[in-house]
Amino acid sequence: MEKEEVRKSIEENIVFTFARSGGKGGQNVNKVNTKAHGTIPLSSIRGLSNEERATVAQKLRAKINSENNICVNCDEERLQDLNRKIAINRLANWIENAAYIQPKRKKTKPSKASKERRLNAKRIRSLIKQSRQKIF
């Protein structure tokens, strides 16, 4: 995955609509459209392989609508432009995290010292239990 290309394609292809948002803003809150709602088709995001695109679609399925567009909202700030930038960053982070595939764990054998510690602990536990038994 090429992060810069993904971010650039998001900035070029995302379509924003703006609405009134609750929260901070005082008297301005009911007059100004500051909430940013962005949508971008998953197919228009460059820099992702087909495998990564499928992984992103699977992991972000709750944020993808019926037209296969990823939706992102932001109404944290009072300024429309700041909300737009935060939404773009949020979407880029979502895609980056969703496209990451964790490498498989390599199996290792227990070390000689760890085997010895385990057996020693078993012996001690066995002695403790034997000391609790009644002698007939």
pLDDT digits (tens, 9 = 90+) for 65-78: 999 999 999 998 88
* Average confidence score pLDDT of the chain: 91
The rounded distance, in Å, linking the Cα atoms of 85 and 89 is 6
CATH code given to domain 3-99: 3.30.160.20
The model's pLDDT over 23-33, given as tens digits with 9 standing for 90+, comes to 776 777 778 88
Query: Diameter of the chain by CA atoms?
Result: 90
Residue 1 has pLDDT above 90, yes or no: no
The pTM assigned to this predicted structure is: 0.73
Domain boundaries, the chain: 3-99
